[in-house]
Amino acid sequence: MVKYDDNIHNRLCIDILERETYIHSSKASAGLMAALSAFISLDMRETTEGGSKFDIVKNFMENRGISLLLKYNKIHVYDECCTIESFRCLSLFCPNHPRNVIIIENRDGINNVIQCLHIHTKQVYLIEIVYKVLFYLLKKQSNVVKFGGGGKFLINLQKVINIFGDSYSPEFFILICQICERLAFHTPTRRMMQKMKFVDSIHQKRFKYQQEKDCVRAVKMCISQLSSLA
């Protein structure tokens, strides 16, 4: 059994990331955040092989840690690897931690998400990771307005549906449907999506996954909300 030393975590999360030693190196930053995401994934489990927890999430996910991840991403926003790894960490912070979603929002995370999706339009594996953070941000109704209020965001979302809706994975298609459903809870945004014929876009991509029960359920809920006239 491998025994992990807490000093590894301190060097990774505090000495390097927090001191911003390599913040202007995109490759070094991406590598550090990739290592961090591995520790976070382990920390998210109930126990490790030895029955103990790393507590990386507890020690790093508050204001300072999330602010740093967003800062690294803003500096290297055009770098695919940095964007992927920073948002991978952020997406791991979100489940079961609603406070972290609020921190992301308060640290200009919404504009960060919009900018990344505007820049990176062809890398579906990157888009999926950013969408995971977007999904949690959309749980708050006021955030729906911020995303749905701009036509460019909806245009990019529809392009993603048309290009990647049925060509990547059923999990990604479900995520798209859930995002559209949440956006459609905001009446002005739903009306805009109706004019843009989002329902048709979803319908055209659902056939590949018609044997997937979770996909069928996600499509039904999405289309029901998109079609609402209320």
- Please report, for the chain, the start and end positions of each structural domain, with discontinuous segments joined by +: 1-121, 138-230
pLDDT of residue 81: 94
Q: Give the closest residue to 154 by CA, choosing from 122, 120, 181, 189.
A: 189
| pLDDT of 212 over the 70 cut | yes
pLDDT of residue 2: 45
pTM score: 0.87
**141-164 pLDDT tens trace:** 778 777 866 678 999 999 999 999
| pLDDT of 10 over the 70 cut | no
pLDDT-wise least confident of 135-139, 140-144, 216-220: 140-144
Pick 38 or 115 by higher pLDDT: 115
**192-210 pLDDT tens trace:** 999 999 999 999 998 888 8
**43-84 pLDDT tens trace:** 766 544 554 555 655 666 667 788 889 999 999 999 999 999
Q: Annotate 156-180 with b (16+ C-beta within 10 A) or e (fewer).
A: bbbebbeebbbebeeebbbbbbbbb
% of residues, the chain, pLDDT over 70? 83
